[in-house]
A and B are shown apart, each in its own frame.
Chain A
Amino acid sequence: MLGRSVAAVLGATLAMAAACKVEARDDYLGDKDPKQFSIGHDATLAQVAALDIDVSPNGAGLPVGSGIGRDGAAIYASTCASCHGDNGEGRPPYPQLIGGPKGDVDFSANAKIPRTIGNYWPFATTVFDYIRRAMPLTAPGSLSADQTYAVTAYLLSREGLIPDTMRIDAHSLPLIQMPARRRFVDDDRRGSVGGKNVR
């Protein structure tokens, strides 16, 4: 009698254990689930095009259009200066854009050293990408492609990176070499390796 009930409890426990077996669902190539569930629907080219605004350092994603720095000055004055200052000097909490120290600068020595496009931005394309995404703060997306090129050219020219007469477009913008590019290094933190902790 006792033996039978122990067996019954054991059997029930084993059955529960089997039922509770954890199935790995996060497995990237798990074979429990179908490879695809066929949920959602295919995005059309138009749907992709409507959102696909990112610009890469090689220029991929830059739109048709162009602008020169001289033309960007007026757009900057009317659209950007109220937050970033008449000369890009920044009006806290809005950051300084141009005019930071050039050359060998150790930014880790003092947080107050201005980090500006000319000394801290590794890619010129990022300036265009960011303005197109997010600026101006109160009306993002309101600048045309030409206006965005022009403001980008204005900021780059004020930093002494290009002449204010240079026309930038999808071809020329990615070719502009940014002084800050050489600063950037990959993350070498690895937790603890061989007892060495802090990097």
Chain B
Amino acid sequence: MTEKPISRRTLITGAAVAAGGALLTSLPGEAQQTTASAAPGGASRVVAGDPTKSPGAPTTAVGTRSPFVTPARSPIGEITGSSLTPLQAFSGTITPADLHFTRNHAGTPTIDPAKHTLLIHGLVDRPLELTLADLKRFPATTHTYFVECAGNGRAAYRTPKPEMTPQQIDGMVSNSEWTGVSLATLFREAGVKSKADWFLAEGGDACLMARSIPVRKAREDALVAYAQNGEPLRPEQGFPIRLLLPGWEGNVNVKWLRRIKLGTDPFMTRWETAKYSDPLPGGKVRWMSFEMDAKSIITSPAYPERLSGQGWWPITGLAWSGRGRITRVDVSTDGGKQWIGAEILSPLTSKAMIRFQHMWQWKGGESLLMSRAVDETGYVQPTMAQLRAVRGPGTDYHFNPIRAWRVAADGSVTFEANT
């Protein structure tokens, strides 16, 4: 087969094949000498049988993923829906910004940053209006934090199936480096009055999403972020600015932030009363449950992977806690009878994801793989049975049970929800 530049029409066909998933299954066969694929923007690629025998592609303005690598979120719903992060596609701890999970309540707005302002008012000495340019003049702060939707893990809690991927189980969590202005700096600038114990954070989307936040969080570690992983926020993550409340449920990290109002009490919006509240046994409902408790999940081996043979395999996964640092992650290969401390591959950063690993020698039998995170408060990630006992089957948020993967004798891996 002769190599020749491929036409745009060929490219489109190639892209369609890739989208259908056929590309990946056909590529490993070395017999196939040339495969066309389309990169975003229409750049052409020819995959030669031997890439050392002809020049590669010229440089480009914006990089793209290898055509062999096609991680994707899984969008659910349209305007009021979510889109889950493919946790199983990643190594390390940082979530690529274009794959960060999203959960929107009225779609993703398109906002002109030149026209967007942040208003800080209410119980302040100096009601302030700040542009994006203004915000960038304040001293910046940069930290890595996870953001997790309060409802992450709901499907696995309510309607688990063996054929669930890490993405489908816990894909509403992502981890990024966030840069912005400490909210404490902005509160000092506005002169927040001492009697202000709460503030309302309101977004500029089509539902004016709003949550009440204790002012103490501003003193601790809250920031108004304008950048994620080194670049301006993506529209789906709140461009041009969002609130970032480290370790707290995703919903309070208000995107497209346009207004902060200081007050004495919670404002009691729908999202902190009728939603994002946790029904408990006995008819009670817990509200203002901000912190995300410690959690972990093995991202490999995981469904739909299949172990190709006996021998050494890395068990690897992610752990995080909204209450501070992860102090250890234990791994079990026998369904929780014995636990062994996993190796931690990344710095034990507070309220950020860490990556753990445990080398495991699979001897061909059935195994039940589990991971269990412990945080600096001493909190131990609970089993599903423990969580169900205190919360009930119909509770609605904060699902952090131990996750298990069943490895069958044939090497297939399926999700086991009951731990």
Contact = CB atoms under 8 A, between A and B. Distances in A.
Interface of A: 25-29, 33, 35-37, 39-43, 47-48, 51-57, 93, 104-113, 115, 117, 120-123, 125-126, 129-130, 133-134, 137, 140, 180, 183-193, 195, 197-199
Given A52-B121, A134-B207, A191 B378 contact: yes
7 contacts: A55-B267, A56-B265, A104-B283, A133-B210, A187-B287, A190-B377, A195-B378
A198 B387 contact: yes
Given A48-B119, A110-B394, 7 more contacts: A52-B261, A55-B267, A107-B279, A108-B394, A184-B287, A187-B290, A188-B286
Nearest to A123: B268
Contact of B293 (A35, A120, A191): A191
Given A25-B141, A27-B184, A107-B285, A40 B258 contact: no
Contacts of A120: 274, 285
Contact of B390 (A41, A54, A198): A198
B23 interface: no
A110 B77 contact: no
Interface in B102-129: 105-106, 119-121, 126-129
Contacts of B80: 93, 137
A140 B261 contact: no
B77 A93 contact: yes
A26 B129 contact: no
A197 B382 contact: yes
A193 to B, nearest CB: 8
Nearest to A47: B129
Question: What is the size category of the interface that chain B forms with chain A?
Answer: 35 or more
B137 A28 contact: no
A100 B259 CA distance: 34
Contact of A42 (B79, B128, B158): B128
Interface string B245-286: 000000000000011010101011110011001011111111
Contacts of B210: 54, 133
B217 to A, nearest CB: 11
B127 A43 contact: yes
Interface of B: 77, 79-81, 105-106, 119-121, 126-131, 134, 137-139, 141, 158, 182, 184-185, 187-189, 191, 200, 202, 206-208, 210, 218-219, 221, 258-259, 261, 263, 265, 267-270, 273-274, 277, 279-291, 293-294, 323, 375, 377-380, 382, 386-387, 390-396
B206 A134 contact: yes
Contacts of B208: 53, 133-134, 140
Contacts of B202: 51, 54
Contact of A140 (B127, B206, B323): B206
Given A110-B393, A140-B207, A191-B293, A33 B185 contact: yes
A105 B280 CA distance: 11
Contact of A186 (B141, B206, B261, B288): B288
A113 B106 CA distance: 25
A199 to B, nearest CB: 6
A186 B259 contact: no
